[in-house]
Structure 1
Amino acid sequence: MFIEERHKEIINLLEKNGKILVKDLSIQFEVSESMIRKDLQMLEKKNLLQRTYGGAINIKRTILNCESFFSRVEHNTVLKEMVAKKAFSQIKEDDTVFLDASSISYLLAKIIIKSNKRITLITNLFEISSIIAADSDIHFIFIGGDYNPIVGGSIGSHSIEQIKLYRCNKAFVGCSGVDLRDGTISTSVSEDANTKKTIMNISKETYLMALNNKFSIDGIFKFANITDLNSIVTEVSPDKAIIDLIEQYDINLI
């Protein structure tokens, strides 16, 4: 067995059981315990596990994100801009595009507005309304409702009823986390989850915009499964072990 194959199996075992032991892995893969320790050290450097005495545990953690919208925009801005640029490459003239309330959506909106590409732009992200030019060729539609300062946009029942009035061919959504064990995509605010689900329902294609670190984090509220997506847009190609897990869902990775 090649090292890459062994690493993939180690990650699979960790995702399944939550913890692994060096002595058990040594027996299973028929290699020395020192070799297994080197494997775990390499995987820890890639942020795929946390080593413990005699083994390792899953570092995946559940978060409740209470940061304000612009605090999130200012975190990992360079990486998020990379995602936004990749997402922009998927938008064509005359598309009808929905941008959900997320920090990467805001950066993507700035690129769209600067390009002045002729599209219809629908969004529940409040901050976009303040940056779109009055003489823009973009047909801009804002979804109103109850504003949530953490999400940065309109969410909840009033927003959902407005969203249902429209149809779009491409939706770009963010998330708090992606669980590759079962494909769960989640967020940290319950009404945001319901709103994102509605956005996806009115769109022909859905693109998830997420940094690589989202593959090691879970939100609290599920709103979709990876199988509901057309593509995942991330800043750079993830680690091979992560790619192998994504490929089982037959999803395009951009």
Structure 2
Amino acid sequence: MSMFVEERQNLILEDLQENGKVLVKDLSTRFGVTPDLIRKDLAFLESKGKCKKIYGGAILKRLNVHLEDANSRKNVNSKEKQKIAQMAYDLIEPNMTVFLDISTTNIELAKLLVLSPISDITVVTNMLDVIQILSTSQIHSIFIGGEFDYARNGFVGNMCDEFLQRFHFDLAFLGVVGIDLESKSVMTYMPNDGQTKRIVLKQSKKSYMLADSDKFYQIGNYEYAKMNEFYGILQTIKSNKK
């Protein structure tokens, strides 16, 4: 019996790692045990620092860590991001429909658009920070909702994807977690974010990667595209000179 308990808890942890969240009622049905027994499993996993219990279930504890990282990432390589944002801004022309992905570089691009609006453009985004900046201007902005991703501070998932499939973008600026030059892979953290990015790729005439220099030395968990699926890459290269 103890082996079964351990096995069940390991499967619950796998669920958490894949989806970020579990519900007591779903786990109770899946394993054919009482909700109270599942709550004990979640309490045990929480005591081991693996998850955080919430009403009706639990979330992966790493989400809270990623949330802190999301805030701190805004100030990482900020000068590089500003330069890349300027490159993106220079590509936008009047009357275009532009998608701004979940990316801290797109925060800088949104700031440029507010300071110097381009006539008659429509900006679509699924990132909370971006829409908050655009809301201070008269730019025609559309916010895509769905399942909130705490790590990225934006929205992903089926509802978001379904809405995005109705759009056609002139330009899309997509964030990346890492780029593997050997395999030509473009990566992000989670499959749901990657799926949303793939839909934007398909719905855009031209899609650009936004990649500060660190992206070439990092690797993500999920490959969402190959490099040749993009129209181009907007990047900076760090100088070794001091």
- The TM-score, its normalising length taken from structure 2, stands at 0.68
Deviation of 1:78 after TM superposition, in Å, equals 1.2
Alignment of 1:225-236 (within 5 A): 225-236=226-237
Counterpart for residue 128 of structure 1:
130
Counterpart for residue 36 of structure 2:
none
Q: Which runs of 4+ in 1 moved over 4 A?
A: none
- The amino acid that maps onto 1:162 is F
Which structure would you say has the larger RCO, counting Cα contacts within 8 Å and 6 or more residues apart? 1
Counterpart for residue 175 of structure 1:
176
CA RMSD, 1 decimal:
2.0
Deviation of 1:135 after TM superposition, in Å, equals 5.4
Counterpart for residue 161 of structure 1:
162
SS at match of 1:89: helix
- The amino acid that maps onto 1:188 is Y
- The amino acid that maps onto 2:162 is E
> Where do 5+ consecutive residues of structure 1 fail to align?
1-63, 240-254
Counterpart for residue 151 of structure 2:
150
Counterpart for residue 86 of structure 1:
87
- The amino acid that maps onto 1:139 is H
Counterpart for residue 222 of structure 2:
221
CA deviations on 1:19-67 (whole Å, 9 max, x unpaired) are: xxxxxxxxxxxxxxxxxxxxxxxxxxxxxxxxxxxxxxxxxxxxx9935
Is the Cα contact below 8 Å between 1:70 and 1:103 reproduced in 2? no
SS at match of 2:186: strand
Q: How many percent identity over aligned positions? A: 30
* CA distance, structure 2, for counterparts of residue 217 and residue 236 of structure 1: 15
Alignment of 1:12-27 (within 5 A): none
* CA distance, structure 2, for counterparts of residue 184 and residue 210 of structure 1: 13
SS at match of 2:91: coil
* CA distance, structure 2, for counterparts of residue 230 and residue 172 of structure 1: 10
- The amino acid that maps onto 1:104 is T
* CA distance, structure 2, for counterparts of residue 134 and residue 108 of structure 1: 14
* CA distance, structure 2, for counterparts of residue 111 and residue 155 of structure 1: 25
SS at match of 2:228: helix
* CA distance, structure 2, for counterparts of residue 226 and residue 132 of structure 1: 29
CA deviations on 1:104-151 (whole Å, 9 max, x unpaired) are: 111111111211112110000112222224651x21111011111211
Is 1:195 matched up with 2:196?
Answer: yes
Counterpart for residue 73 of structure 2:
72
* CA distance, structure 1, for counterparts of residue 93 and residue 71 of structure 2: 28
* CA distance, structure 1, for counterparts of residue 189 and residue 239 of structure 2: 23
Counterpart for residue 32 of structure 1:
none
Matched residue count: 175
* CA distance, structure 2, for counterparts of residue 198 and residue 238 of structure 1: 35
Q: 1:97 to 1:210 in 2, by over 3 A?
A: same
- The TM-score, its normalising length taken from structure 1, stands at 0.65
